[in-house]
Amino acid sequence: MIMNPTIKHLPPKKINSFYPPQRTLMGPGPSEITPRVLAAMSLPCIGYLDPVFVDMMDELKTLLRYVFQTDNQLTFPASGPGSVGMEMCFVNMVNEGDKVIVCRNGVFGGRMIENVERCGGKAIVIEDTWGEPVDPNKLEETLKQHPDTKVVAFVLAETSTGCMSDAKTLVEIAHRYGALTIVDAVTQLAGTPLFVDEWGIDAVYSGSQKCLSCTPGLAPVSFSDRVVALVRNRKERCHSWFMDLDLVLGYWGNTNRTYHHTAPINGLYALHEALLQVREEGLENSWARHTRHYLALKAGLEAMGLEYLVKEEYRLPQLNAVKVPEGIDEARVRKALLEEFNLEIGAGLGPLAGKIWRFGLMGYSAKSENVMLCLSALGSVLMDLGYPVKLGYAEAAAHQSYAEQHAQAAQQKIKAA
């Protein structure tokens, strides 16, 4: 007689359904999800080869080409976070022994280096100060020293510092020396201008959870025809089965869709809706909205006497890195904001840990009510910790910024009429 084994690890009855608190998300990501995207996620699940779903996939690719500003046919959402998009670029473009120049000016440049090494490539690292953009002169000098470089990789919008580099110039330099480019645009997409075709970017990846205000777990990617040719002509097989573009193309290609993996179906519904909202708002309007609320937040933070890490001309509107005042426990401030105001902001990473806060204004989180709540809550917490804050000054500065921007926009409409 066969005896059934004893069932182990039975969860206790006290575990109930999970209901997360309602937070105001103003950290480095994820951003708040729009109600329309949340509703899209709750729609009925269908098969990943259902003809209706396949039609929706085609619309997704069209919408992604719009936000990336590209005609690249190989533009689609990879199944996984931005890190999967990053790894997909490297495992398909870097072979054993290839020289890859990586420009590091923050945490995520460091992750690029690790990807190169895991692919068997040789990483040639250009170091730039955290909080400053990648130096084009350093890149050119390094390419002169290593003319056989296959790929140049850099972070366009460094999430760890809130600094933006000059992608157009960096790509032009790389192409002049015959190298392909891999660009991290995780925090850039739909928040500030990104022109994949005009700038000549070969491979670019992003994330769904930043300025698109979608659920985390999808990585929009786009590859130029040069990359497609490289992948199809490579002699050694891609080291990753899951991220092999030759295989993924069977599912995301234009004809004869074949099974590759079970796609995150409801997540793709959500991304479709998020991208549709970007199209309805218009890319230029999305960029302008992020800048408008950044200027108001900046006015309020500076009215408190706080300083930015990054110079104005290199600053990301959607990711504000602000120096922690001397004598203030930054972790205590973040904890108080979360516990007392349900407001999340981000901490510094790496050598900036304990030295900065990161205030995100991304997608649905980029709105006036979030700016005003943040300034009021931060002022209250800092005052409790003995920092000299004048009540109402930050909020008034933000309101003044909004008023001035409104007046300027009205003047521009009159001139254009």
Looking at 254, 279, 304, which one is the last position of a domain? 279
Report whether pLDDT(323) > 60.
yes
pLDDT of residue 262: 86
Q: Same domain for 176 and 314?
A: no
Q: Same domain for 305 and 336?
A: yes
User: Which stretches of 32-154 are DSSP H helices?
Assistant: 35-41, 51-68, 82-93, 107-118, 136-145
Residue 324 sits in a domain of what CATH number? 3.90.1150.10
- pTM of the full predicted structure? 0.95
Pairwise pLDDT comparison (204 vs 262), residue with the higher score = 204
> pLDDT tens digits, residue range 10-38?
888 888 999 999 999 999 999 999 999 99
Retrieve residue 27's tokens: 């950290």
Residues 6+ apart with CB under 8 A from 68: 75, 189, 194, 196, 204, 220, 222
Report whether pLDDT(1) > 60.
no
The answer to whether the CB of 108 falls within 8 A of the CB of 207 is no
Residue 28 lies in a domain: no
Q: Same domain for 309 and 274?
A: no
Residue 85 lies in a domain: yes
Number of compact structural domains in the chain: 2
Q: Same domain for 288 and 267?
A: no
Dihedral sign for Cα 342, 344, 345, 347, please.
positive
The answer to whether the CB of 320 falls within 8 A of the CB of 358 is yes
Residue 222 sits in a domain of what CATH number? 3.40.640.10
Looking at 279, 303, 331, which one is the last position of a domain? 279
Residue 22 lies in a domain: no
Residue 103 lies in a domain: yes
Cα separation, 354 vs 143, in Å, equals 36
- Among residues 26, 27, 39, 25, the alpha carbon closest in space to that of 274 is found at 39
Q: Same domain for 189 and 304?
A: no
Looking at 247, 279, 311, which one is the last position of a domain? 279
Mean pLDDT of 95-103: 97
Q: Same domain for 273 and 287?
A: no
Q: Same domain for 269 and 304?
A: no
Q: Same domain for 211 and 258?
A: yes
- Among residues 310, 74, 67, 105, the alpha carbon closest in space to that of 195 is found at 67
pLDDT of residue 29: 95
Q: Same domain for 235 and 309?
A: no
Report whether pLDDT(257) > 80.
no
pLDDT of residue 2: 64
Retrieve residue 150's tokens: 């296959």
> pLDDT tens digits, residue range 205-223?
999 999 999 999 999 999 9
Residue 395 lies in a domain: yes
Domain that holds residue 342: 282-416
Pairwise pLDDT comparison (251 vs 34), residue with the higher score = 34
Q: Same domain for 235 and 290?
A: no
Cα separation, 203 vs 181, in Å, equals 6
Residue 333 lies in a domain: yes
- Over the chain, what is the mean pLDDT? 95
